[in-house]
Structure 1
Amino acid sequence: MNKVLTAVGASTAAAIACSAALRPVFRHWGAARDEVEGPYPGEGIVPDGERGATMAVTIDAPPEAVWPWLVQLGGDRAGWYSWDRLDNGGRQSADRIHPEWQDLKLGDTVKYWTKRNGAVDAWTVAALEPNRFLGLHGLSDLTGRPLDPKEPRPSAYTEGLWGFQLKELPGGRTRLVIGGYETFRPRSVGWLLSWIFPPLVWVMQSRMLAVLKRNAERAGTHAG
């Protein structure tokens, strides 16, 4: 029995050490230090919010060519450009710009698609600077049920700003930095999720960055 307990303890310690080593990689995939540690738009939208995962990619297309892909995000619109079976109810994300989905305004609701319930409310457009920044705000209880931001926060909830920043680079290129702010209550839940979420976010968001890069660059090539 002692040998079994020792083996289990060693395995657990190894798993924790591995997770600790890989956690920064998952949370900061493709991002430079200044993008992780420097200022990021949307501070103040999430009360008591802390910086969340920050990931980035360089796209060989100008910001105005990337922006339309972001504006049409949504489960009942273009999808999320990620693993559609996992985060879009099996519906295929758009591979072209849809003019009918380009009218996005502050306060609009961005929906999430599930196989069981179809399109459900998920985020509110909280920041919108064309060709520069899109900020999606989410507030829910720990079961995922949306909460009214005008009402007092309950004792247990999660709140976040999911941001998409476009920075113009020389040569007609764009730096897309996905980041934001997050709050978990109680804090113990936040601590637990801070170890569980990074690999999941990395799987989905790294795919999203790759697809956005491919789509924007391919559209620019075809346009040329």
Structure 2
Amino acid sequence: MSKHRPRAGRRSLGVATAALALYGVFLRPRVLTWGATGEEAGRGYPGDDLVPDADASSTMATTLPAPPPAVWGWLVQMGCNRGGWYSWDRLDNGGHPSAERIVEQWQDLHTGRHLDSLPSGDAWFVVAVLEPERTLVLRSLTTLPSGRPYDRFDAPPRAYTDAIWGFHLRPEPGGRTRLVVRTRGRSRPRPLTRPMDILFWEPAHLIMQTRQFHNLRTRLSTTA
């Protein structure tokens, strides 16, 4: 019986290796560019330069049934303890429902402002780039494994992630908006963070981002 164990182990390893290779070649590129055209995925966007030597990136896109000014009102009120993130609220908003309407008190946004990424307020995004009705780029600097933010762009801790989440709006015919979402990130130590990126964070971002697209589309259709 013991003679078969090494052979079975090699077979399992071979299957796992083949599955990872297929995922890397066929599925992962689609995960990272869901909904985006080749031109959208290949071009640069405001905020990309904040993480110039990124080792992770994605570009996803959708067309929304409203012009950029209408879409912008929903984007600027994002954040925990504000309008939420319009995604899976149990996962990213502490179970609190995201806003179903535009709230005037959440429409004032400026660069440098913190937007809570946790209901506790213990972690946040910083508004890094803001061009009204065109571009909103959020940046997150996180110490690993604690998940606590750090403030020095030029002096990160030994284990960290530095990432941007950018929303880019372009008017489309028929009073619609093309929304392109670009992420870029850098993390260390890379031998540990790269497997987590590929196996967890990239699929998780796809799930959350496509849900946000869906919920934004629903809200804009309802309020149009």
TM-score normalised to the size of structure 1?
Answer: 0.90
Larger CA deviation: 190-199 vs 170-179: 190-199
Cross-structure match for 1:27? 32
Shift of 1:51: 5.9
* 1:126 has 2:131 as partner: no
Q: Distance in 1 between matches of 2:22 and 2:209?
A: 21
Q: Is the Cα–Cα contact under 8 Å of residues 124 and 149 in structure 2 kept in the other structure?
A: yes
Cross-structure match for 1:166? 169
The 3-state SS of whatever aligns with 1:8 is: helix
Give the unaligned 5+ runs of structure 2. none
User: Match for 1:186: what amino acid?
Assistant: P
The 3-state SS of whatever aligns with 1:213 is: helix
Structure 2 residue corresponding to 1:13, chosen from 8, 11, 17: 17
Larger CA deviation: 14-23 vs 166-175: 14-23
Q: Distance in 2 between matches of 1:67 and 1:191?
A: 33
Shift of 1:181: 2.0
Give the unaligned 5+ runs of structure 1. none
The 3-state SS of whatever aligns with 1:9 is: helix
The structure, 1 or 2, with the larger RCO (C-alpha pairs under 8 Å, 6+ apart) is 1
User: Match for 1:159: what amino acid?
Assistant: D
User: Match for 2:16: what amino acid?
Assistant: T
**CA RMSD, Structure 1 to Structure 2 (Å):** 1.7
Q: Distance in 2 between matches of 1:188 and 1:44?
A: 24
Cross-structure match for 1:200? 204
Q: Distance in 1 between matches of 2:45 and 2:165?
A: 11
Q: Distance in 2 between matches of 1:176 and 1:218?
A: 18
Q: Is the Cα–Cα contact under 8 Å of residues 163 and 184 in structure 2 kept in the other structure?
A: yes
Cross-structure match for 1:103? 108
- Please show how residues 1-224 of structure 1 align to structure 2 within 5 Å: 1-20=5-24, 21-50=26-55, 52-114=57-119, 118-143=120-145, 144-149=147-152, 152-196=155-199, 197-220=201-224
Q: Distance in 2 between matches of 1:62 and 1:50?
A: 33
Q: Is the Cα–Cα contact under 8 Å of residues 68 and 177 in structure 2 kept in the other structure?
A: yes
Give a deviation string over 1:100-122, Cα, whole Å, max 9, x none.
110111111000234xxx23331
Shift of 1:195: 1.0
Q: Is the Cα–Cα contact under 8 Å of residues 118 and 124 in structure 2 kept in the other structure?
A: no
The 3-state SS of whatever aligns with 2:118 is: strand
Q: Distance in 1 between matches of 2:186 and 2:21?
A: 25
Shift of 1:39: 1.3
The 3-state SS of whatever aligns with 2:117 is: strand
The 3-state SS of whatever aligns with 1:199 is: helix
The 3-state SS of whatever aligns with 2:203 is: helix
Shift of 1:2: 3.3
